[in-house]
Amino acid sequence: MTVTALLWCVAFLLALGGLAVGAARRRGASGMVYGGCLAACSVAFTVALDALLSGAPPAAATLPLGLPWLGAHFRVDALAAFFLVVINLGSGLACLYGIGYGRHESAPHRVLPFYPVFLAGMNLVVMADDAFAFLLSWEFMSLSSWALVMAHHREGDNARAGYIYLIMASFGTLALILAFGLLAGPDGGYAFAAMRGDAHRPALPLLVLILALLGAGSKAGLVPLHVWLPLAHPAAPSHVSALMSGVMTKVAVYGFVRIVFDLLGESSAWSSAIVLALGGATAVIGVLHALMQTDLKRLLAYSTVENIGIVFIGLGLSLAFLSNGMGLAAALAFTAALLQVFNHSLFKSLLFFGAGAVLTATGERDMERLGGLIHRLKLTSVAFLAGSLAISALPPLNGFVSEWLMFQAVLISPELPQWGLKIMIPAIGGLLALSAALSAACFVRAFGIIFLGRPRTPAAAEAREVDRFSLATMFAAAALCLLAGILPGLLIDGLTLPVLELTGSHMPPQAAMPWLSIAPIAEGRSSYNGLLVLLFIAGSASLGIVVIHRFASRALRRAPAWDCGFPDPRPATQYTGGSFAQPIRRVFGSVLFQAVERVDMPPPGDNRPASLQVTMRDLLWDGLYAPTGRLVMAAAERLNLFQFLTIRRYLSLVFGALVLLLLVLALWP
């Protein structure tokens, strides 16, 4: 029943995509398509939520599609149900936003047909229960999102972004094909059920893990495979960016969890160390890159890289505990990772919606050309502020809860027997704290430069508040962030089933705790109560306001800014995004970005303007991708010779190849 209903939703989405091909240019088409998608997502969300909470046994269905001897298997267990909830909640919000935002779309026929197909692809990946269906849906998702990235292919760097995305997506799928090949073994048991039961050869698990990291990690944005993400995610229309950053990266996390936790089913200290190291590096490198960006959407995309790193830290911790049979600790870390997945899908969507609103209102994405929008976009700024607080892991919003749980998991690490892990995990905890603090810096900068201060351009000075659908979506997402932050116990209890399914144990039920607080291990050890924190803050703030208004002077006078006596009316004298990030660039960037500042100060009497030049390099791009690209080009250049041979030479080449193959066959033991 569950699977059938979900498959009908998917079929409806696919049909909607087909219809949109013909109807995209008509008036009202965009409202119809997004409305239809919203309906499908709501149904799918309800069905998946029911499957997640009801605890019914996994539902399965087989369709006579795909490989003739295999068929297409679909199955919704608790893990799939959780990710379906995340996908359809995020997609539903994006659809609602799209109803308003899509009206400004200059090329609807390039967006509308692919959008429902993209949603269908993401749902199918999570439901797939055999390798073929999984990979096919995975490619479906990749290609439809690629088409959406290329919607405005003539603008700026979008064509290059699409090209790099395509290459990285193909690479990722290749790694996944190999991983599934290894899991299926020589008999070709491509159904997931067969893979779970299979006994593996000893050298295999680590290789499968690495291939899963390459395949799913490249889609999720793990460093060093993240390069496509900050190019491709911002290139798409904003609600699609929200989907790609908030939701599609979660599908990639699902792929990794499915392969490593479920299908592979065993872990070693080594594998967890690899995942932890990659997660820690991703978190810090992602957020440092985000701090250096001036394009708002690119900043958000890099911050996605950071959050994916945090999710992988949680997964790595869980693997470490699992490999040592510490079920409860593994459940705690895994819950933290899933909670981070859920939370990130909410606040990242919210922030991308905010970026879309800024883009609609001003036509600008560059924060150095914005400013003072809090006066013009009053409501958008409130929602964006909520998202910024949430993503900076500040109480009482939801980002803090998942990071807090992760710190609690880190604190259990001394009980691990392996020395390497014992020493590594506190350092990873330090990196986690560093990335949280830098993330707060990053969003102080983003909100401060864009919404506060004085407008830097006429476009920013004349911005108009966006439409009601966009505002409603942003406030819905912000409300969900707040609710998830003050009632985390309910969420943790909701995650019991998927956690139990994959780690074999679960956190103690939280609903029984007094006052809805959460206590991961025992109350004497650590506990947190978001609701009371919010109430206390609200209470003491109101008390402060009441006392002040009762006893203090109420006089208020508006005057020019003080600025130590030297206010300058020109908005250019404000701090910019670049100058705000300068101290952090100086502290962290001299190694990571090879940042060099050159100051040219003309001597007295010289009328030349002084100048400051900053050069930064992306070491990963220069050291890994550019050489690889050159290598491929050089190889292609060589192979190009084969294109211009005579027929005689081709025939002799074919003959030679035949002889060689026969020789190999003859000599093969």
Partner 1 sequence: MAVIADLLVQLVQMALVLLLAPLFTGVVRKVKARLLRRRGASVLQPYRDLFRLIRKEVVMAENASWLFRTAAYLIFATTWVAAALVPTFAVGLLFSWTADLIAIIALLGTARFFLALAGMDVGTSFGGIGSSREVMIASLAEPAMLLVVFTLALVAGSTQLSTMAAVLTAPEVGLRVSLGMALIALIMVAIAENARIPVDNPATHLELTMVHEAMVLEYSGRHLAMIEIAASLKLLLYVSLIACIFAPWGITAAGAPLRAYAAGAAIYLAKLAAGAVLLALFETAIAKMRVFRVPEFLGGALMLGLLGTLLLFVSRSF
Phi, psi of 420 (to 5 degrees): -55, -50
**How far apart are alpha carbons 317 and 332 in whole angstroms?**
9
Q: Comparing C-alpha atoms, which of 45, 48, 46, 34 is closest to residue 116?
A: 34
- Binding residues for partner 1 restricted to 504-533, rule: CB under 8 A: 517, 519, 523-529, 532-533
- Binding residues for partner 1 restricted to 415-434, rule: CB under 8 A: 422-423, 426-427, 429-434
- DSSP for 509-524 reads PSTTSGGG-B-SS-TT
584 binds partner 1 per the rule CB under 8 A:
yes
**Pseudo-torsion of CA 486, 489, 495, 500, nearest 10°?**
160
Nearer to partner 1, 553 or 646 (CB): 553
Nearer to partner 1, 90 or 354 (CB): 354
**How far apart are alpha carbons 394 and 147 in whole angstroms?**
36
Nearer to partner 1, 87 or 391 (CB): 391
Nearer to partner 1, 168 or 283 (CB): 283
Encoding tokens for residue 446? 């983003």
Contact 439, 306 (CB under 8 A): yes
Q: What residues contact 445, with CB distance under 8 A and at least 6 apart?
A: 291, 577, 580, 581
320 to 359: interface string for partner 1, x by CB under 8 A: ----------------------------------------
Residue 224, preceding peptide bond in cis (omega within 30° of 0): yes
Q: Which of 408, 470, 473, 503 binds partner 1 (CB under 8 A)?
A: 408
**How far apart are alpha carbons 598 and 515 in whole angstroms?**
57
Contact 220, 230 (CB under 8 A): no
Q: Which of 393, 481, 482, 499 binds partner 1 (CB under 8 A)?
A: 393
DSSP code for 507: P
Nearer to partner 1, 203 or 564 (CB): 564
585 to 604: interface string for partner 1, x by CB under 8 A: -xx-----------------
Closest separation in Å from C-beta 137 to partner 1: 39
Nearer to partner 1, 106 or 579 (CB): 579
548 binds partner 1 per the rule CB under 8 A:
yes
Nearer to partner 1, 50 or 597 (CB): 597
Encoding tokens for residue 491? 């969420």
Closest separation in Å from C-beta 269 to partner 1: 15
375 binds partner 1 per the rule CB under 8 A:
yes
DSSP code for 600: E
Nearer to partner 1, 583 or 602 (CB): 583
- Binding residues for partner 1 restricted to 218-257, rule: CB under 8 A: none
Q: Which stretch binds partner 1 (CB under 8 A): 124-132, 292-300, 304-312, 536-544?
A: 536-544
567 binds partner 1 per the rule CB under 8 A:
yes
Closest separation in Å from C-beta 578 to partner 1: 10
- Binding residues for partner 1 restricted to 437-496, rule: CB under 8 A: 437-438, 440-441, 444-445, 447-449, 452-454
**How far apart are alpha carbons 425 and 437 in whole angstroms?**
18
Contact 115, 218 (CB under 8 A): no
Q: Which of 146, 321, 334, 400 binds partner 1 (CB under 8 A)?
A: 400
- DSSP for 139-160 reads HHHHHHHHHHHGGGTTSTTHHH
Nearer to partner 1, 17 or 453 (CB): 453
Q: Comparing C-alpha atoms, which of 620, 619, 579, 578 is closest to residue 295?
A: 578
Q: Residues binding partner 1: what is the number (CB under 8 A)?
A: 87
Q: 73 in helix, strand or coil?
A: strand
Nearer to partner 1, 204 or 452 (CB): 452
